[in-house]
Structure 1
Amino acid sequence: MGVTIKDVAKLANVAPSTVSRVIANNPRISDKTKQKVREAMDELGYHPNFIARSLANQSTKVIGLVLPSSGDVFFQNPFFPTVLRGLSEGAHEKNFALQITTGQTDEEILDGVVQMVQGRRVDGVILLYSRVNDQIVSYLLERDFPFVVIGKPFKHEDRITHVDNDNFSATKEATQHLIRLGHERIAFIGGDLELVVTLERLLGYEKALESIGVEINNSYIVHEPFLEEGGVEAVKKLMNLVSPPTAMIVTDDLMALGVLKKLNEHQYKVPRDISIVSFNNVLFGELSRPQLTSVDINIFELGYQASKALIDILETPNQEARRISVPHTIVVRQSCQSLGEYVGL
């Protein structure tokens, strides 16, 4: 016969109900008691039957993750594996598992979410993005189903708990960094305009230029997918202009690699001929040549805080929606240079 909760309780000299609360990580149980019970569990080789517990509690102990529709973006862009690590860490702390859904179209993704929710496969949902018009958000609000968004909601911000950066301020600061180096012909390479993060960053870029009296040049604003190929396509458009930019805000490090690649093909040197500030501060930004100045948005922390926020909602229902802001920092490296240094001023 296997080891039971009663066996653990006897060895730890506590009530069986206390063992159950320790397994559930109940905050009312002291750390000293938790340690004593866990030591007894280890000594006896006791492993909780979470499936049976979930059935009894009408809980799956599973969090549903909703990914963007483009599989290429998910598998190629290191943002998503990094945010998944944060999500996994936060879920693991409370013994939750993760279930991922995505699809080739918005309709396929919505269908996957409906199946998770109505099939009671998950206790709550985390959206790894925020879109301008999102049927999934509307569906989850209508169902009053627990969910958290990574990013700023386009609508119903006061009703949705979300974890995000201050993308407006981050991009304004990044643009001001280039302005202080003497640049005014600054391009903006952004992602899909249906993504709220793109709109927030574009506004920050425009505000920084407007603050010094520079008129917004729409030919300097390009939107491409968050992929290396997106950066390549952006450079094709920008460097063929009669008056090309002297600096670029690139809103993703993977796109920035494409930018560097295409600039090099056309014999442009970074930062001698053009300066670049990128976003996300993933590893290959540091390994690129030159190393990228990049805005570190703490991707892991975005995922970790999203898991914690959703589990908190599940443990304490009917709480008010919250905005959890994750700080950013600009990591200055070698991809930026004063305008005067390379035009001989």
Structure 2
Amino acid sequence: MTTIKDVAKLAGVSTSTASRALHNSDMISEATKERVRRAMQELDYSPNYSAQNLVNRTTNTIGIVLPVRESQDSLGNNPFFMQIIQGISSVCSEYDYMVSLASGRTVDELRKNCQALIRSGNISKFIFLYSHKDDPVFDFVKKQKKVSCVVVGSSYEKLATKSVQFVDNDNHQAGRDVAEFMVSKGFEHLVFAYTDMDELVQTERYQGCCEYLQEHQKDSLSLHFSRVKEDENILKLQQFLAEHPKTQAFIACDDIMAIRLQRLLKNDKQEKSYAVISFNNSLITEIANPALTSVDIFPYQLGEKAAQLLLEKSRKSVSQKVIIPHQIIERESTLRF
């Protein structure tokens, strides 16, 4: 069985130098690191991280914290989260890190799962894939000793520290851009469809839409939908459209909401056609019927940047927030009927 001593011998360095190179130590030059990597590849050497973790009481694993959902199917079937996780995993592979997911149907369940990762799994690096108002899970994790976090989203506190950083889109501007795009298409009576305004990303998108519409003396209505109660959603939609017959288009908080809305409108057998635009531009937008116009927020890059921030060995300065750009991708769902 190949050992780190064999790697060191082939690379022409000491065992301690090979070990430091393996862990990407700043004390070792890039040239030496490269020699060690070539030796590892030639010998087909794989580090025994489990043994190292037991000795050092550390782990080469990142905890990815998913938002609370009443049904975990809504997360597993959401390509947005899958694309972010793929971006995270690609960077983790470069650093020889693994990922572990924390999820839950309730806040308490999610907090307990994070607690188990910290105390039993010795995980000290976390990426939150959501930002939620007054979140006890996030508050619990960030208060733990020697734990660092990156949040994909914004913070109500608007602060970054050495232990907490943020990667996000400018969702407020994205909301304004969507409203401007729809008005330019001739849609004046718009409705923002959402599921949870305590999720900051939905709030910021809604506020951006409202701001633009109010500046241009347009309607800025909103409609809340449940993530799981479809019968309730149908009744809500029917009542809303009866009360607001001038409605022309919906701005959905994300692609999943947009697909649900398209289905509700079809099942309700509406004679009138409504335009729909959404956010995230996940894979499902192209196969929707009609194909969805959506705001691409580049989730893979969000995941990559979050992992890079968390795994950088030296931080001479703390980035308050890294902003990933967005782009409206136009498809059939916003064509004038």
1:158 alignment partner, SS class: coil
Tell me how far 1:131 sits from its aligned partner.
0.6
TM-score, L = length of structure 1 = 0.86
Gaps of 5+ in 2: none
Alignment map for 1:185-204 (pairs within 5 Å):
185-204=189-208
Whether the 8 Å CA contact 1:232–1:259 is kept in 2: the answer is no
Task: Tell which deviates more after alignment, 253-262 or 13-22.
Answer: 13-22
User: Relative to 1, partners in 2 of residues 1:332 and 1:263: Cα closer, same or farther, differing over 3 Å?
Assistant: same
Tell me the equivalent position of 2:166.
162
For the pair 1:116 / 2:114, whether they are aligned, the reply is: no
Contact preservation (8 Å) 1:227, 1:254: no
Q: Distance in 2 between matches of 1:237 and 1:256?
A: 19
Q: Tell me, yes or no, if structure 1 residue 213 matches structure 2 residue 217.
A: yes
1:2-151 aligned within 5 A: 2-26=1-25, 29=28, 31-70=30-69, 71-119=72-120, 121-144=122-145, 145-151=147-153
Q: Which residue of 2 aligns with 1:331?
A: 329
Match of 1:311 in 2: 311
Answer yes or no: is 1:253 the counterpart of 2:255: yes
Q: 1:266 to 1:244 in 2, by over 3 A?
A: farther
What's the secondary structure of 2:334's corresponding residue? Answer: coil
Secondary structure at 1:188's aligned position in 2? strand
Matched, 1:183 2:187: yes
1:132-154 Cα offsets, whole Å, 9 max, x none, are 11112222333352111111112
Distance in 2 (CA, whole Å) between partners of 1:157 and 1:235 is 38
Aligned residues: 331
Distance 1:179 1:251, change over 3 A: same
Consecutive unaligned residues in structure 1, runs of 5 or more: none
For 2:229 and 2:333, locate their aligned partners in 1 and report how far apart those are by CA, in whole Å. Answer: 17
Deviates more, 1:301-310 or 1:201-210: 301-310
- The farther-off stretch of 184-193 and 48-57 is 48-57
1:262 is matched with which residue? 264
The CA deviation at 1:11 is 1.9
Give % identity: 31
Aligned-pair Cα RMSD in Å: 2.6
The letter of the residue matching 1:195 is: E
Query: C-alpha separation between the residues in 1 aligned to 2:315 and 2:177?
Result: 38
Q: How far off its partner does 1:156 sit?
A: 4.9
2:293 maps to 293
Hey, what's the Cα distance between the residues in 2 that align with 1:331 and 1:319?
Answer: 35
Shift of residue 56 of structure 1? 4.1
> Structure 1 stretch 200-209 or stretch 114-123: which is displaced more?
114-123
